Amino acid sequence: MRMTARYVLSGLLAMLAVLCLSTVPARTADDGGDTPAASLPEPADPIVRARERQALMAVYESLGGPDWIQRDFWGSDRPVGEWHGIETDAEGRVVRLTIYDNNLDGKLSPAICGLERLHTLHLSFNKISGALPDTLGDCRALTNLWLKGNRLTGRIPDSVAVLPELEYLDVHANRLSGPLPAMWDTPKLKILRAEDNKIAGALPETLFRQPSLEQVFLHSNKLSGPLPSSLTEAASLHSLLLADNGLSGPIPEDIGTLQQLTDLRLNRNKLTGRIPESLGDAAALQVLRLDHNRLSGSIPTGLAAHLTVFDVSHNPDVTSD
């Protein structure tokens, strides 16, 4: 009997030890443990998902969805991440809408910014018409806005010029008009493409104060007035294409201090004054087109030596001495 009691006691002690161990909380990286606790993103709230689905359907209806070339699963009960052109994050929230060259026809619905995490909107080469909605400024996560090759009219909304995450803005080859936004506050903006439109008015001083700005394509518009003095503050700028406008006045004397500048095209404007001497010190510069202006004076010594393209023709008062 003593032997049996000892076995029973041993069994009870073993069970008690297992029970104690099972009640000790696992240590994580937050409380000093060596192994971080696993954390998987939870699916978005059903109400949020329903709201995003509703926003997508508003876009679909406003842009002639039934006539799209590809529209797989749009309007179905399938997760929106399976709908043509849509990418979602781990929580099922829409982050990319990429539907280019797909016969989208109509006006872009203001409901687009009901997609609160949307960072890429690529609807290029379609038939989108009318003005861009002012509510685009509510797309606070927007990084890439590509709407080139459509039939857009009106102005670029002021609200777009203050999007905090915007890096790429491409609205070229549309029918946009009016002035550019006067106030720019887009600290991450790298590329602005709005060429081949009917944009008029002056170049805003604030545009060239954006610290990340690398490329500005505004040629073939109806811009007028002087080149802004802030142009020389664009330290990251390497491409500036302003040809085929009505810009006037002198070229800023210190423009050659832009050490990243490789491509400068100011041809076919109404620029006056001398070619800045500082351009001769712009070591990175490869393309310089100043033709078809009203410039005067002599070509700075050594300017053409490091250029692959240099055109100053059709400036009758410019000499090579």
Q: What is the DSSP string of 71-122?
A: -TTTTSSS-GGGSTTEEE-TTS-EEEEE--SS--EEPPPGGGGG-TT--EEE
In this predicted structure, the answer to whether residue 20 has a pLDDT above a threshold of 80 is no
Q: Are 130 and 107 within 8 A, CB to CB?
A: yes
Tell me the pLDDT band of 7, cut-offs 50, 70 and 90.
Answer: very low
- Domains of the chain as residue ranges with CATH: 67-225 (3.80.10.10), 249-321 (3.80.10.10)
d(CA 249, CA 120): 38
Q: Which two tokens stand for residue 106?
A: 């109509």
d(CA 241, CA 238): 10
What backbone torsions phi and psi does residue 195 show, to the nearest 5 degrees? -70, 165
pLDDT at res. 42: 52
In this predicted structure, the answer to whether residue 27 has a pLDDT above a threshold of 70 is no
pLDDT tens track for 244-290: 999 999 999 999 999 999 999 999 999 999 999 999 989 999 999 99
Percent of the chain topping pLDDT 70: 86
What rounded mean pLDDT belongs to the chain? 90
d(CA 311, CA 267): 9
Which residues, 6+ apart, have CB-to-CB distance to 42 below 8 Å?
A: 91
pTM across the whole model: 0.86
Least confident among 21-35, 72-86, 135-149: 21-35
- Residue 127 forms beta bridges with which residues? 105
In this predicted structure, the answer to whether residue 139 has a pLDDT above a threshold of 60 is yes
- Calculate mean pLDDT across residues 29-44: 45
- Calculate mean pLDDT across residues 231-238: 97
Q: Which two tokens stand for residue 231?
A: 């142009």
Q: Are 29 and 56 within 8 A, CB to CB?
A: no
d(CA 176, CA 174): 6
Q: 172 or 27, which is more confident?
A: 172
In this predicted structure, the answer to whether residue 90 has a pLDDT above a threshold of 50 is yes
d(CA 221, CA 174): 11
